[in-house]
Structure 1
Amino acid sequence: MDAELRTIPGAVVDERGLQHSGSPLTEQRALAEGGALAILDDRAVIAVGGPDRLTWLDSITSQALARLEPGVSTELLVLDPQGHVEHAAGVLDDGETAWLLVDRDRAAGLLAWLLKMRFRLRVEPWDASAEYAVVGGTPDALAGVAVASPAGTPLLWRDPWPGVSDGGVGYADDADHPGSARHWAEAVVACAERSRLIAEAAAGERAIAGLLAVDALRIAAWRPSAAELDERSIPHELDWLRTAVHLDKGCYRGQETVAKVHNLGHPPRRLVALQLDGSDSVLPAPGAEVRVGDDVIGTVRAAAVHYEDGPIALAVVRRAAPVDVDYVVDTADGPVAASPRVVVPAEAGAAASVPRLPRLNRRPPAS
């Protein structure tokens, strides 16, 4: 697949896929405005067949899926017994199969766990990445793409972020949520369609954006992903209760922690957005320390240069970290100042009350 990507003029490719093709900021703007699409080779596709698939997934993950209608987009988390996030996946069902869009580096682990959890149920999980690829962009940008529809329902996953799903709750103040301007979708396509799109880009007939552009738009929208996870992460810290957790569904592994932290306590850590000072050319690496003076309060999880906002990052800090002072973040060029913006408030939980975006419509979009 790398050989195909390298036919795109100016392509810079690494183990994740196409990073950019010469102009990351131009690609980013085009992707945001619907003038380009992205080849998401950092995604994998796991399919789950069988008549028990939805009730089974409902019972072992954070999301209410038992009555999921064909064509409706949602997402789930797999938690460990202590409520830490192990896996995340976008979910779409076509009436015969549930399709999970997952981080490629975590796909093998998720599939292995699903296979262990089958017991005697009529479910069949398999890795469908040899047959299918994923491309992303605005719904308008994906209009000319041959979306796979093996059972008649197009496998077009529309990101629910940052709406609040049924049974979910948002911690961030929605009055000025940057994610509300982001319209993102991911299409499952046959591998031959991926090749066709790349060939069009190589011929100058289609605009393709790289993963740097995808990451920057996600970070600017405060959208959590596997990049923000470590072994201690719980959904509350990343404001992931809004789209990936149903607080009123039945038992599942890690539910006790989810309910307890939301109803009785506060997340021990919380996500903040950072506006970085200094040169655009050097960004903090994932894991870079975030400090107030000499006090380490957290770590950077993801960073990018945004086409409008400049250098930005998402970081996870201690719940009690101050919000009214500048932070300092280490880079290869030395420390830089970073202005924080609260994503998850320190007082987040059932007692907190902030303005909310409308609840998501869980009916499939009109075809």
Structure 2
Amino acid sequence: MPERGELVTLPGAVPPQDDASPDQGVPWHFGDPFGEQRAAARSVAVVDRSNREVIAVPGEERLSWLHLMISQHVSDLHEGEGTEALVLDSQGRVDAHMVLAHASGTVWLDTEPGASATGARGDRQSLLEYLIAMKFWSKVDPRDATDEIAVLSLLGPSAPSLLESVSLPAPASLYAVAGTDVLVRRMPGSFDLLVPRAERLAWWERLTNAGARPMGSWGYEALRVEALRPRLGVDTDEKTIPHEVNWVPSAAHVAKGCYRGQETVSKVHNIGRPPRRMLLLHLDGTADTLPATGDPVQAGERVVGRVGTVAQHHELGPIALALVKRSVTPDTPLTAGGASAAIDPDSVPPDTPGLGREAVRRLHS
């Protein structure tokens, strides 16, 4: 079995310099992080994301059981389909985020390293321990599959043709899953490849030999920030609810019921006004240092949010995701960790229209 950090030792690979990075064990970049981003934007790049944990859920009741455990509607998830989902606590706050792929009688869940959830007694458990504890008499058998499966991601407009060149399918619809030994799942802006971990290096070489440029987590994270895609534990804190980070409806279904935290999801969706919202900040590139994850976002002396992912983008320069109070207007001058910051107005999500109290207010106005 190859070591999980095998690709970090490839020629030209630079490991993360921050010991606290959630991407320890995968390459940070390959010598030219901006060139890697440009390749992903204009042609195709491949990223090692094999630090993600993978959980396999086989068993004849896998769909009906998962339907009760997670925030997404999966009771009718067909073979060859995938989705995103969350585990919430009883107050509707996000415990875990995962991406699903249903294939060959198994639902594969890939999630962040060290994913955990709040147990029945209020204690923190690994996500796998939580799922096992909730098994009861259901005909399912969740197991750790991280030593079986590794995740690689392809980004860029040429990704479909490159997949074809290495005899892999390129699913046409979002979250569709295809393949046998290697599963290919279409994601927003990318394709995830779930490859046998023992063949990870061989597939990396096959993809790069076919024309995919190696890209590290630096470039992947910068493009994720540009696309306003949150990352659990970086762009979220212990109070985050799904609406604040655009996980409704992509990862949380507002109408299915029967899952922990559903009341909060439904209530906030109907009101249409979460207390905070995730925004893209443009940072002052002349500052000596950039903010760090967890630093305060301030309007004058008032703390109005927290910094999430901070990235250096090949076109936008220094940018960050931040959770900011929804009362803050897009033209408000801000500082993030002491550096000047401006809200990208295109990142401001609209309030949910025509629902709940807002609908009643308009009816009587």
- TM-score class, shorter-chain normalisation, is 0.7 to 0.9
Distance 1:2 1:87, change over 3 A: closer
Q: Which amino acid aligns with 1:257?
A: T
> How far apart are the structure 1 equivalents of 2:132 and 2:355?
39
> How far apart are the structure 1 equivalents of 2:241 and 2:104?
31
- Which of 4, 10, 15 is the equivalent residue of 1:8? 10
Question: 2:140 is matched with which residue?
Answer: 123
Q: The residue matched to 1:124 in structure 2 has which SS?
A: coil
- Which of 128, 133, 141 is the equivalent residue of 1:111? 128
Distance 1:231 1:30, change over 3 A: same
Write out aligned runs for 1:300-339 (5 A). 300-330=307-337, 335-339=338-342
Q: The residue matched to 2:268 in structure 1 has which SS?
A: helix
Distance 1:293 1:151, change over 3 A: closer
- Which of 199, 204, 227 is the equivalent residue of 1:221? 227
Q: Which deviates further from its counterpart, 321-330 or 111-120?
A: 321-330
- Does residue 193 of structure 2 align to residue 187 of structure 1? yes
- Which of 24, 36, 43 is the equivalent residue of 2:33? 24
Give per-residue Cα distances to partners, 1:292-340, cap 9 Å, x unaligned: 111111111101011111111100011212321221112xxxx322110
Question: 1:100 is matched with which residue?
Answer: 109
> How far apart are the structure 1 equivalents of 2:111 and 2:5?
23
- Which of 229, 234, 251 is the equivalent residue of 2:258? 251
Distance 1:260 1:302, change over 3 A: same
Q: Which amino acid aligns with 1:191?
A: R
Question: 2:54 is matched with which residue?
Answer: 45
> How far apart are the structure 2 equivalents of 1:270 and 1:329?
16
**Distance apart, 1:90 and its partner CA:** 0.6
Q: The residue matched to 2:15 in structure 1 has which SS?
A: strand
> How far apart are the structure 2 equivalents of 1:151 and 1:124?
23
Identity, % of aligned positions: 38
> How far apart are the structure 1 equivalents of 2:280 and 2:216?
23
Q: Which amino acid aligns with 2:321?
A: L
Give per-residue Cα distances to partners, 1:122-161, cap 9 Å, x unaligned: 00111111111110013425445687999948522222x4
Q: Which deviates further from its counterpart, 9-18 or 70-79?
A: 9-18
- Which of 195, 211, 222 is the equivalent residue of 2:217? 211
> How far apart are the structure 2 equivalents of 1:34 and 1:202?
12
**Distance apart, 1:3 and its partner CA:** 6.3
**Distance apart, 1:6 and its partner CA:** 4.1
> How far apart are the structure 2 equivalents of 1:291 and 1:341?
16
Give per-residue Cα distances to partners, 1:214-260, cap 9 Å, x unaligned: 11111000012212121101000011103111112131100001111
> How far apart are the structure 2 equivalents of 1:321 and 1:151?
46
Q: Which deviates further from its counterpart, 139-148 or 39-48?
A: 139-148
**Distance apart, 1:81 and its partner CA:** 0.5
8 Å CA contact 2:28, 2:217 repeated in 1 = yes
8 Å CA contact 2:183, 2:194 repeated in 1 = yes
8 Å CA contact 2:291, 2:339 repeated in 1 = no
8 Å CA contact 1:49, 1:124 repeated in 2 = yes
Distance 1:147 1:9, change over 3 A: same
Give per-residue Cα distances to partners, 1:339-366, cap 9 Å, x unaligned: 10254547446539xxxxxxxxxxxxxx
**TM-score, normalized by length of structure 2?**
0.81
8 Å CA contact 1:46, 1:128 repeated in 2 = yes
8 Å CA contact 2:61, 2:140 repeated in 1 = yes
> How far apart are the structure 1 equivalents of 2:7 and 2:309?
24
Q: The residue matched to 2:136 in structure 1 has which SS?
A: coil
Distance 1:336 1:195, change over 3 A: same
Q: The residue matched to 2:114 in structure 1 has which SS?
A: helix
Distance 1:350 1:281, change over 3 A: farther
8 Å CA contact 1:134, 1:188 repeated in 2 = yes
Does 1 or 2 have the higher relative contact order (CA < 8 Å, sep 6+)? 1
Question: 1:158 is matched with which residue?
Answer: 186
8 Å CA contact 2:49, 2:152 repeated in 1 = yes
- Which of 260, 265, 270 is the equivalent residue of 2:267? 260
Any gaps of 5 or more consecutive residues in structure 1? Answer: 162-182, 353-367
